[in-house]
Amino acid sequence: MNREELETGLFDSHQRFIDLMNQLSKEDFEFRLNDDKWSNGENLLHILKSTKPLGQALALPNFQLKLIFGKSNRPSRTFDELVSKYKNKLRDGGKAKDKFIPSNISFDQRAEVVKKLSKTINQIMKHFAAFSEENLDHLILPHPLLGKLTLREMMYFTIYHVQHHQKIVERNLEAH
């Protein structure tokens, strides 16, 4: 995907997730399939917690990103390769790390969390627009489960990640 396709994918996938969250009743928002799974609302909070650091990182100048995280020494993976790597990590027991684990969230908090997520996605898009195609394949960011990812790969992950959690919410709703 080129930069424009990544921007469109990022916006569209998050907007679909936000639209789904906004349609949920109180009962559906707070529904939890079982005690060791997140509620639908907690999936929303997890997406916010996982996108915020990307927005903060992309706000940094290129030279700071290079200084802090370095440069890639390999070509970017494709979207499908990145998704496959993520699915393999999950299959091997990979889970969200502490700061990405959502706390309990009530239906009354939904509007505020949706607003923050929308603002975060807009921030990511604003800063992402400044990166060249070349920078997307040379600059890297750390991912807590996948290791060092190029900016392009991080965008692939961010797009897929929200789609993954949307499917979880949809499966929860079917089971409810």
DSSP annotation string for 68-133:
HH-B-SSPPPPHHHHHHHHHHHHHTT----GGGSPPP--GGGHHHHHHHHHHHHHHHHHHHTTS-H
Lookup: tokens for 51: 């996108």
Per the CB < 8 A criterion, the answer to whether 81 and 149 are in contact is no
Residues facing residue 60 across a β-bridge: none
Question: For residue range 11-54, what is the model confidence (pLDDT) as tens digits?
Answer: 999 999 999 999 999 999 999 988 889 999 999 999 999 999 99
The pLDDT, as a whole number, for residue 131 is 94
The pLDDT, as a whole number, for residue 163 is 98
Question: For residue range 119-173, what is the model confidence (pLDDT) as tens digits?
Answer: 999 999 999 999 999 999 999 999 999 999 999 999 999 999 999 999 999 999 9
Per the CB < 8 A criterion, the answer to whether 85 and 147 are in contact is no
pLDDT-based confidence at residue 6 (cuts at 50, 70, 90): very high
Question: For residue range 73-115, what is the model confidence (pLDDT) as tens digits?
Answer: 999 999 999 999 999 999 999 999 999 999 999 999 999 999 9
The pLDDT, as a whole number, for residue 36 is 84
- Domains in the chain with CATH codes: 3-23+37-175 (1.20.120)
Above 90 in pLDDT, residue 176?
A: no
Lookup: tokens for 86: 């993520």
